[in-house]
Amino acid sequence: MNKTWFNKKNILKIKLITFVVLLCIITGGIYSYISKPILNKPYTAKVIKFSSLFNDMNPAHLKAAKELGLKQPLQSREDSEAVKNDLVRIEDNKYYSIDKLTHSVPYLTEGAAELLDIIGEEFLDALEGKGLNPNKIIVTSVLRTQEDIKKLQKSGNINASSNSAHCYATTFDITYGRFDKVEKRLFREYESVDQYTLKSILAEVLQELKEQEKCYVKYEKKQGCFHITSRI
Give 147-198 pLDDT, tens digit per residue. 988 888 776 665 666 788 999 999 999 999 999 998 766 556 677 789 999 9
Assess contact for 210 and 228: CB atoms under 8 A.
Answer: no
Question: Are 143 and 191 a contacting pair, CB within 8 Å?
Answer: no
187 in the Ramachandran plot: left (φ > 0), alpha (ψ -120 to 50) or beta?
A: left
* Contact predicate 218/60, CB 8 Å: no
CA angle, 138 as apex, 136 and 143 as ends, to 5°?
Answer: 140
* Biggest CA pair distance of the chain: 95
Helix residue ranges, H only, 130-227: 146-154, 195-211
Per residue in 157-168, pLDDT (tens digit) is 656 667 889 999
* pLDDT given for residue 45 in this prediction: 77
pLDDT of residue 23: 63
Phi first, then psi: what are they for 119, rounded to 5°? Answer: -60, -50
- In the prediction, which pLDDT does 24 show? 63
Phi, psi of 220 (to 5 degrees): -100, 100
Number of H helices, E strands in the chain: 7, 8
The closest of 210, 231, 214 to 53, measured between CA atoms, is: 210
Cβ pair 142, 107 in contact under 8 A: yes
Listed as ranges, residues in the chain with pLDDT below 50 are 1, 5, 31-40
pLDDT at 20: 62
DSSP 8-class letter at 74: -
- At 191 the pLDDT is 74
